[in-house]
Chains A and B, each alone.
Chain A
């Protein structure tokens, strides 16, 4: 089954006109798939879906949550986190304050990855960590800081690679116990972040597509990983502008392993390893 181009346009038009959401510059292929999933999960025809979008605001909120992709992991791509730990965060070591924005934080695993790392580097106290997402449900999960353990066995491997080991010095091994940061409850199959981590970040609803920097703060570090892949080129440019404006001159942007800045906005940043520094 497919979403036809005509239905797709009607969907975008209805959403834009009857809600505060605008998906018209989302990447088409994955959005069509997500729409199809909504149609299947709710046993709706496209006509019925569009009518619901126009008349049922509660449904729209629910649908937007279902459409956005929320995959995330603790220390996803350990090599990126090793870079953050050993080459990026040390740049801000002498700052009196370090401001960090997780844009599109989803269920918060990366926020906790950062908090754990800041704590290991003795920088947690002076960090101000902001986490935003378009989807308030996933942010509720992020605030809770509780994750399924069994499905995320890689979490502990990743933790070991980033926190215990040092790729730049194989002889170094920091035997940091997991319970310094989270409790492992094997009976209930959960990892729960400790309160001192959970209380740290400021969570706020934010839509990268339609809003400016509503945090009214400038940042040393912006993490926006595997978010812009769902946007088309025009929208990506707009988001890079927003990030550029929101960074301090020495600040940097970190994206997903296979995300890059293409075209005009590329001139505003300089790529060093996994990070884009403001030019």
Chain B
């Protein structure tokens, strides 16, 4: 295994995609998965339960300084930024919103890219703003794998198109191809 973690960012239109991905992973998926997904301001709870329903791996909203384990998904809690510290630890922050977002996908991706460098797989999904583009560039610049959901398949294309405008990527994949790629990680 060449990788240490997967990070997925998404906004409007990404919930179904994330659900399908989590549903299709093997129970013994070998990496931790970080999920940084925007949600509506008033939807502060229930999100993790909704994602857990169909997921084949456990999904949790981490506590500050929790260490990440393979085969688990960590969802950025509502109203916190989620960073990756060295040694697989998660750090949370209530700093101001970045590009009107908290959690900020850029911040999660940038800190993950710094912690895991070329051992990180970053995936940007459907969304209605440009958050995540800078973060995916950082993943790519640090030698990690950059994947973007095929904009033609996205419910809202803005986020994936912004990423593609800002950085070269390794793959532009449909949801099925993303799932196939992740299933092959051994």
Interface residues of chain A, those whose CB is within 8 Å of chain B, are: 2, 27-30, 33-34, 69, 71, 77, 79, 154, 157, 226, 228-230, 233, 236, 256-260, 262
* Residues A258 and B92 in contact, CB atoms below 8 Å apart: yes
Residue B94 at the chain A interface, CB threshold 8 Å:
yes
* Residues A262 and B111 in contact, CB atoms below 8 Å apart: no
* Residues B64 and A260 in contact, CB atoms below 8 Å apart: yes
* Residues B80 and A258 in contact, CB atoms below 8 Å apart: yes
Could you tell me which residues of chain B, from 78 to 95, have a CB within 8 Å of some CB in chain A? Answer: 80-81, 83-85, 91-95
* Residues A69 and B64 in contact, CB atoms below 8 Å apart: no
* Residues B63 and A258 in contact, CB atoms below 8 Å apart: yes
Nearest residue (CB) in B for A33 is B95
Residues of A within 8 A of B96 (CB): 71
* Residues A30 and B41 in contact, CB atoms below 8 Å apart: no
Quote the shortest CB–CB distance from A150 to chain B (angstroms).
14
Residue B65 at the chain A interface, CB threshold 8 Å:
yes
Question: For the complex, what is the distance from the CA of A157 to the CA of B45, rounded to whole Å?
Answer: 15
* Residues B93 and A260 in contact, CB atoms below 8 Å apart: no
Residues of B within 8 A of A77 (CB): 44
- Which listed residue, B45, B61, B94, B107, touches A229 by the CB 8 Å rule? B94
Residues of A within 8 A of B85 (CB): 27-29
Nearest residue (CB) in A for B44 is A77
Residues of A within 8 A of B84 (CB): 29
Quote the shortest CB–CB distance from B21 to chain A (angstroms).
24
Residues of A within 8 A of B127 (CB): none
* Residues B91 and A30 in contact, CB atoms below 8 Å apart: yes
Quote the shortest CB–CB distance from A82 to chain B (angstroms).
13
Given the known inter-chain contacts A29-B85, A154-B41, please indicate yes or no for A259 contacting B63, CB distance below 8 A.
yes
Residue B62 at the chain A interface, CB threshold 8 Å:
yes
Looking at B41, B83, B93, B94, which has the most chain A CB atoms within 10 Å of its CB? B94
Residues of B within 8 A of A259 (CB): 63-64, 92
* Residues A30 and B65 in contact, CB atoms below 8 Å apart: no
* Residues B83 and A30 in contact, CB atoms below 8 Å apart: yes
Residue B77 at the chain A interface, CB threshold 8 Å:
yes
* Residues A258 and B77 in contact, CB atoms below 8 Å apart: yes
* Residues B111 and A229 in contact, CB atoms below 8 Å apart: no
Question: For the complex, what is the distance from the CA of A233 to the CA of B86, rounded to whole Å?
Answer: 13
Residues of B within 8 A of A157 (CB): 42
Nearest residue (CB) in A for B45 is A79
Q: Mark B135-174 against chain A: 1 for CB-CB distance below 8 A, else 0.
A: 0000000000000000000000000000000000000000
